[in-house]
Amino acid sequence: MTIKIDLKQASRIVKTKQGFRADRTALISYDPDMVTITADTALYNAITDGSLPSIGDAHPHIASIYLQSLTCDPLALGEYIVTMVYEDVPGFPLTSNNLKRVSATTAPGRIEKDATQPTPVEMWALYMTKAGDAADPEVMTKENFAPNIEKPRASFEFEYTVDDGLGTTPFPQSTIDNYLGKVNLAVWNGYPVRSVMCSAVNITQQGEGYRVAITFLYNSDLWEYNALIAIPIDQLAPSIKQTDPTLNFDTGVKNFKVYPEVDFTALGLTL
* DSSP count for the chain of H helices, then E strands: 3, 17
Which residues partner with 162 through β-bridges?
210
CA angle 225, 236, 255 (to 5 degrees): 15
**Residue-by-residue pLDDT tens, the chain, 271 positions:** 566 676 655 567 888 776 788 888 888 887 655 556 677 888 888 888 888 888 877 788 876 788 888 999 888 777 888 889 888 765 444 444 467 888 888 888 777 778 776 787 878 888 887 766 666 777 777 777 877 788 888 999 999 888 877 778 899 999 999 999 999 999 999 999 999 999 999 998 887 888 899 999 999 889 988 887 877 776 777 666 667 778 877 777 888 889 999 999 989 898 8
Q: Enter the pTM of the model.
A: 0.57
Residues 6+ apart with CB under 8 A from 243: none
